[in-house]
Chain A
Amino acid sequence: MLDAVEVAAAVADAHRREWAFVLAATVRVTRDIDLAEECAQDAYAKALEAWARDGVPQRPGAWLTTVARRRATDLLRREARFRTAVPLLLDEETTPDPADTDVDAEIPDDRLRLICTCCHPAIAQEAQIALTLRLLCGLTTAEVGRAFLVSEPTMAARLTRAKKKIAIAKIPYRVPPPDELPERLGAVLAVVHLLFTTGHTAPAGGDLVRADLVNRAIDLARMLRTLLPRDPGVAGLLSLLLLTDARREARVDRTGRLLRLDEQDRRQWNASAIREGLALLGQAVNTGAPDRYAMQAAIAAVHARAGRWEDTDWEEVVRLYDALCAAWPSPVVSLNRAVAIGLAHGPLAGLDALDEIGAPPELAGYGYLPAARADLLARLGRDEDAVAAYRQAIDLTSNDVEREFLVGQLREVSERGATTRRPAPR
């Protein structure tokens, strides 16, 4: 007999590790996502009791899947309405025999099917992300709502609508054929990346990082890596996430103040995450043309390799941003490029690069643009202009930690007066 705490921990662990596997395998039997969710939840509830009595099974995922599938078979037999009320996901040729509930039988890994269905291009991206969190990560509807700062009923409505579309429009539950896979995988990677960036600098609120979202995104990228170990796109994305997240502990000081890259204590960077990220990057760039995540990872790698801020190879960073801008032009990338130019060739060159971007509508309301301008102006000693730009940036920032940082910068520039100008680095 295990005590209740141990069992609860084992079930929680199996939930985090195996939820997607259990659900994906159960959808194959039910061919109905809602019913599969119900059965998978039921299996986890049964595990609490059964594992306390019999111990934690050797393969918790297989145990849970078998129980969920058995439950599905019972429900389907009892309530034939499930077969007619909702259009079923198309999967006739591979629907397993529902009578086959042998725990030791090899259960095919259907997680790639599930995530490709969640991230189908016919579903709006915000719903793709919500479905992925709900179905692949097993978050409750309330948790998914909190992740995107919407109420539970709003999120429930969004999820229901997306699931209905999957069923009614017959979005197939399958892994796309090889010729379509790269494009479809692109949508999956975009969802995981967006989830990460949302967590990396939380759009609003008191904490800089939403660790839950960042960790979920890394879990998903690792899952994809397990499923597609040779895919360079997956390797590049996981590399980017690891190299970026390696700095998590160093990004704020003990009082929660945001630290710039040049202020961070690099000994706090996660060395094992960096090692893993660099190795993955090698794989991502050695197989064909690197995609944008691999290029961003290459930029993060330049920082990761520099033992000190002063050692950063800014020329290389600018070169990588040039390539990124050429292949995937976006105002945000141009902005980062301008910042890098400011560090490689001085604030005046940076300001020129920033002026080239102009004021694209995509960046209206984007606090980083005036913040970058303010920083360059301050380094040039154009304090009045810098103050105005910092004020603009502060108005546009909803994250408390970032706002605090900008207020500090503003105070520094306003107080130093016209005669005691900080020498511009480089």
Chain B
Amino acid sequence: MAQYLVLIYEDESPFADEAVGAEVHAAHTAFFEKHGAAIAGGNALQPASTATTIRDNGSGGSIVTDGPFAETKEVLGGYYLIDAADLDAALEIAKAVPAKFGGVEVRPIRDMG
């Protein structure tokens, strides 16, 4: 069994509407109910406006800046950690992850064992 991280990238602006927020929340609840057995973890994140980025300054220190790592229209908004036998199985689950204002990226977890 392998693990995959499903990163949810979406445009945040529609979420300003509370009805949209409630609808998406319901969609995630339904997703969790259906695929709970495969879900090893997951969280929703606060908006990208609350993000802080830290980069190496090249001389042993770091630079702290306001904002997400990359300025893009779709931002990381949440993730699921899922268990799956292979990429096909992982993609099958990832396709069901609610992300109507963007999409998801599926990344295999590196096995450090």
Contacts and interface: CB of A to CB of B under 8 A. Distances in A.
Interface in B2-24: 2
Contacts of A172: 85-88
A356 to B, nearest CB: 32
A172 B88 CA distance: 7
A122 B87 CA distance: 9
B86 A170 contact: yes
A87 B110 CA distance: 10
B85 A90 contact: yes
Contacts of B71: none
Nearest to A177: B88
Contacts, number: 24
Nearest to B84: A170
B33 interface: no
Nearest to B91: A122
A120 B106 CA distance: 15
22 contacts: A87-B2, A90-B85, A90-B86, A120-B87, A122-B91, A168-B108, A169-B87, A169-B108, A170-B2, A170-B85, A170-B86, A170-B87, A170-B108, A171-B86, A171-B87, A171-B88, A172-B85, A172-B86, A172-B87, A172-B88, A176-B88, A180-B88
A87 B87 CA distance: 13
B5 to A, nearest CB: 12
Contacts of A90: 85-86
A154 B111 CA distance: 29
A121 B108 CA distance: 16
B16 to A, nearest CB: 33
Interface in A168-187: 168-172, 176, 180
Interface string A154-173: 00000000000000111110
Interface residues of A, number: 11
A90 B2 CA distance: 10
Interface string A74-93: 00000000000001001000
Which of A168, A170, A171, A176: most chain B Cβ within 10 A?
Answer: A170
Contacts of A170: 2, 85-87, 108
Interface in A81-135: 87, 90, 120, 122
Contacts of A176: 88
Given A90-B86, A170-B86, 14 more contacts: A87-B2, A90-B85, A122-B87, A122-B91, A169-B108, A170-B85, A170-B87, A170-B108, A171-B87, A171-B88, A172-B86, A172-B87, A172-B88, A180-B88
Contacts of B111: 87
Interface in B53-97: 85-88, 91
B19 to A, nearest CB: 34
Nearest to A167: B108
A122 B85 CA distance: 16
Nearest to A173: B86
Nearest to A171: B87
Interface centre among B85, B88, B91, B108 (most CB of A within 10 A): B88
Contacts of A87: 2, 111
Contacts of B108: 168-170
B108 to A, nearest CB: 5
B83 to A, nearest CB: 12
A331 to B, nearest CB: 26
Closest 8 CB pairs of A and B: A172-B86, A170-B86, A169-B108, A169-B87, A90-B86, A171-B87, A170-B87, A170-B2
Interface string A42-66: 0000000000000000000000000
